[in-house]
Amino acid sequence: MSGFGQRLRRLRGNRSQREIAELLGMPVTTYSTLENQDAIPRGQVLKRLADFFAVQMSYFHLAPSPGLRSTDSARNWLESLRTSEYPEHKTAAHADFNIPDTAKAKIAEKIRSLSNAKAPNKQ
């Protein structure tokens, strides 16, 4: 299971600890300490971090999916989406829980129906 600090580092992405600490209005040493701990802080500290990164506080409590790991091909695919000629037509998402195949099929069908409804008529 990934600890609190690991999840916090994932949210920080490529930004520096100093940058995030300044944006949060806290000393960089405090922010660094948070990233190096497994225990989840309580109260206002947790709420402040969740609000800043625009995630639910429960994000820090979710158990990861077994076997979930990042791969080079997944990172390359996400990067291709970011640099795509038509990025507004693509959506990438990450979830730390398993979604049943039946739910995935329903989601995919809904996305297809929405895409078809927005597509211009070809003649």
- 46 CB contacts (<8 Å, ≥6 apart)? 40, 57, 60
Tokens found for residue 119? 């597509």
pLDDT score, position 30: 92
Is residue 118 predicted with pLDDT exceeding 70?
no
CATH annotation of 4-60: 1.10.260.40
Alpha carbon 98 to chain centroid distance?
15
Q: Do 3 and 38 form a contact (C-beta atoms < 8 A)?
A: yes
**Domain definitions of the chain by residue range:** 4-60
What DSSP string runs through 15-69? S-HHHHHHHHTS-HHHHHHHHT-SSPP-HHHHHHHHHHHT--GGGGTPPPPTT--
Distance CA(78)–CA(43), nearest Å, equals: 34
The one-letter amino acid code at 48 reads R
Confirm if 5 and 38 have CB atoms less than 8 A apart. yes
pLDDT tens track for 5-59 = 888 998 888 889 999 999 999 999 999 999 998 788 888 888 999 888 888 888 8
pLDDT greater at residue 48 or residue 65: 48
